[in-house]
Amino acid sequence: MKITLKDGSVKEYSSSMTVYEIAKDISEGLARAACAGEADGERVDLRTVIDRDCTLNILTDKDPGGLATIRHTASHVLAQALKRLYPDIQLAIGPSVDDGFYYDVDSETPLTTDDFEKIEAEMKKIIKEDLKLERFELPRDEAIRFFEEKNEPYKVLLIRDLPEGEPISLYKQGEFTDLCAGPHIMSTKGIRAFKLMKLAGAYWRGDSKNKMLTRIYGTAFAKKDELEEYLFRLEEAKKRDHRKIGKEMKLFMFAEEGPGFPFFLPNGMVIRNELMQYWREVHYREGYVQIETPIMLDQSLWVTSGHWDHYKDNMYTSMIDDRLFCIKPMNCPGSILVYKNEPRSYRDLPLRFAEVGHVHRHEESGALHGLMRVRAFHQDDAHEFIAMDQVEEEVEHIVKLINEVYEKLEFTYHIELSTMPEDHMGSDEDWEKATNGLKGALEKMGLPYEINEGDGAFYGPKIDFHVEDCLGRSWQCGTCQLDFQLPLNFDLKYIGADGEEHMPVMIHRVVFGSVERFIGILIENYAGKFPTWLSPVQAKVLPISDKFLDYANEVNKKIRAAGIRCEVDDRAEKIGFKIRAATLERVPYMLVVGAKEAESGQISVRSRFAGDEGSKDLNDFIRDVKEEIDGRIRRPEKNEE
């Protein structure tokens, strides 16, 4: 048999071999590091026998699939520890997830985080025992009897739901056996660093009609230092929580009268307005025209667009004059009506409509999370109408624009190409044509991308931009979606150079996505220490005492006249108190004024970036800060240098 490896090389074997044996044949070091295999794209055990020609990738803990295998085994170790400590506990499911693993259990004895120390200690014993994980299969009826005898009703329900004839696989480690499709690492000893993280409630199978189970979350890594780094990032993320910083800096709020509907406070509006001013400048320069469409439109429009069939459960509606109106969850149908408002020619294309539309989507209350998940937000949409032969050029134009904005805000990003979902409109042929158009543009630009199978919008494939923040977290923000379906549904036309009618291609595109969510990301990325151009207050004048208030007000007036956002702290407090207060408010520049400054007409500058910057001429200070603001430059923070 021929085994094609990741690097394209081919290994030939005269008889079947396990994945582990193949890894060992490649190198002893690879075999020691191996966690799992990937045969023809499917993740498998190292103990899996390969008896056919295939492509094979050996996964280590450096690969997402390898780390997921370690974590999956950690969930079984957790379950085994629970059964040792609480024999009557009943087990449900225990998968790996993005940041670790969990196990859902039904326990008569209420579990709390105080139990974690005891559970972790038992898990360490199991790991030290170096228990081999052994896979075996049972006939359906025998597997059901096996778990009935062990009083594991949730396992029985899982088996009964499996299709007839499907193999029932189990994994055994020591005295513990679990229903599982795998894969797993070879031994419990391969789990070198883990920690239980939290408890949560979880309905059996996610259905609120079913019993509430206890979900125990944990995480695991191949190395202790990787676990410590992860825990450090979590603690740092708590400090950077945009809800906490938003409250401290008075940026936004929520009220019981509008759950999930954010209120922007004056300081928050400054950030939003500055961000959107930059957005408008870039879009004006790149040939976009801004429009605004109604927040509520007749239901028939949403039926034609397909949103009603695919999205109605997330839409707010209202009856007016016996007509059903929908509050828009997206801006695209309104842009289509603007396109149809007048005849269009090939000379108009590409036609780039930009709209910062206020959209509303119903989210379950449990999903709401500060600015990151809300029910009302502003979407920085653009809807572009182009000819088919303009697709690659226009996608390239969009990618360059998004790249410019992300570079200005110092975000790195990666690109994913999302393909046709099961729930979609249009023919497979149209989808293939649209997908190839996006691929062609990315490949022409030489940009790497990952394929995200089945995650496209219901009307077309899309390119998604995932930005990475300072903690290494990824956020999907920008998107570029190619759409043949809505132009067809709305019978959109333009007159071509040949004098005939043609259907345009439509592109849906955002840079920030949800403006509210993007601001939440910025808050956490900067920990509230915004670049000066985005800071709600850019400078604060701090008089040493009331005797110097007049001079402080003169300084403030001159700075504000130059377009710099400035305030005076006129409280009857000591200067140390005022400096600490301004520091907590994350003000970029603190200008201390006393007798010396009043006499010389200067200011004493302290900044977030360099600490004490000494005495400066006021005009020089204004000039330097204006250059920083106008150039939208971010000075490195003191601890970054």
519 has pLDDT over 70? yes
43 is catalytic: no
What's the confidence (pLDDT) of residue 441? 86
Cα(469)–Cα(288) distance, integer angstroms? 28
Q: How far is CA 9 from CA 20, 37, 307, in A?
A: 18, 16, 48
Dump pLDDT digits (tens) for 375-424.
999 999 999 999 988 988 999 999 999 999 999 999 999 999 999 888 88
Catalytic residue among 381, 430, 469, 569: 381
35 is catalytic: no
The per-type count for the chain, helices as H runs and strands as E runs, is: 20, 35
Name the residue among 96, 79, 212, 65 with its Cα closest to residue 152. 79
508 is catalytic: yes
| pLDDT confidence band for 326 (50 / 70 / 90) | very high
Cα(485)–Cα(487) distance, integer angstroms? 6
Name the residue among 158, 170, 251 with its Cα closest to residue 204. 158
| pLDDT confidence band for 485 (50 / 70 / 90) | confident
Topology annotation, domain 539-640 = Rossmann fold (3.40.50)
76 is catalytic: no
What's the confidence (pLDDT) of residue 217? 97
71 has pLDDT over 80? yes
Catalytic residue among 462, 466, 540, 578: 462
Catalytic residue among 24, 360, 383, 540: 383
Dump pLDDT digits (tens) for 240-273.
999 999 999 999 999 999 999 999 999 999 999 9
What's the confidence (pLDDT) of residue 640? 67
Task: Work out the average pLDDT over 122-149.
Answer: 95
Please give the model's pTM, rounded to 2 decimal places. Answer: 0.81
80 is catalytic: no
Task: Work out the average pLDDT over 552-578.
Answer: 96
Contacts of 287 (CB under 8 A, 6+ apart): 350, 352
Cα(382)–Cα(351) distance, integer angstroms? 10
Which residue ranges make up each domain of the chain?
A: 2-60, 65-237, 267-288+346-526, 539-640
Dump pLDDT digits (tens) for 33-53.
999 999 998 999 999 898 898
Name the residue among 60, 62, 69, 63 with its Cα closest to residue 29. 60
Cα(471)–Cα(231) distance, integer angstroms? 11
Q: What are residue 78's phi and psi, to 5 degrees?
A: -60, -45
185 has pLDDT over 60? yes
What's the confidence (pLDDT) of residue 445? 86
What's the confidence (pLDDT) of residue 569? 96
Name the residue with higher pLDDT: 471 or 488: 488
User: pLDDT above 90 covers what percent of the chain?
Assistant: 78
Per residue, the 3-state secondary structure of 179-219, as one string, reads ECCCCCCCEHHHCCEEEEEEEEEEEHHHCCCCCEEEEEEEE
| pLDDT confidence band for 206 (50 / 70 / 90) | confident
Task: Work out the average pLDDT over 205-233.
Answer: 92
Strands 589-593 and 539-543: parallel
- Output the six-digit token pair for 28: 């002893």
Catalytic residue among 35, 180, 326, 332: 332
Contact 68/188 with Cβ under 8 angstroms? no
Buried b (16+ CB within 10 A) or exposed e, 335-358: bbebbeeeebeeeebbbbbbbbbe
Contact 316/260 with Cβ under 8 angstroms? no
Cα(102)–Cα(188) distance, integer angstroms? 17
Task: Work out the average pLDDT over 445-472.
Answer: 88
Half-sphere exposure of 544 (CA within 13 A, CB side): 9
Contacts of 541 (CB under 8 A, 6+ apart): 552, 553, 555, 556, 559, 566, 567, 568, 569, 591, 593, 603
Q: What are residue 291's phi and psi, to 5 degrees?
A: -130, 170
Name the residue among 491, 430, 488, 485 with its Cα closest to residue 458. 485
462 is catalytic: yes
Q: What are residue 53's phi and psi, to 5 degrees?
A: -65, 135
241 is catalytic: no
Catalytic residue among 83, 215, 344, 361: 361
Give the number of other CB atoms < 10 A from CB of residue 62.
Answer: 10
Name the residue among 478, 457, 456, 452 with its Cα closest to residue 467. 478
Topology annotation, domain 65-237 = Threonyl-tRNA Synthetase; Chain A, domain 2 (3.30.980)
Name the residue among 185, 189, 195 with its Cα closest to residue 135. 185
Task: Work out the average pLDDT over 289-301.
Answer: 96
366 has pLDDT over 90? no
Catalytic residue among 379, 485, 538, 602: 379
Average pLDDT score over the chain: 93
What's the confidence (pLDDT) of residue 77? 97
Identify the CATH number of the domain defined by range 267-288+346-526: 3.30.930.10
Identify the CATH number of the domain defined by range 2-60: 3.10.20.30
Cα(237)–Cα(524) distance, integer angstroms? 7
Contacts of 288 (CB under 8 A, 6+ apart): 352, 353, 354, 382
Task: Check for a shared fold between 65-237 and 539-640.
Answer: no
Residue 36 carries which side chain, given as an amino acid letter?
A
What's the confidence (pLDDT) of residue 539? 98
Residue 32 carries which side chain, given as an amino acid letter?
R
Contact 442/417 with Cβ under 8 angstroms? yes
Name the residue among 205, 191, 212 with its Cα closest to residue 111. 212
Catalytic residue among 195, 508, 606, 608: 508
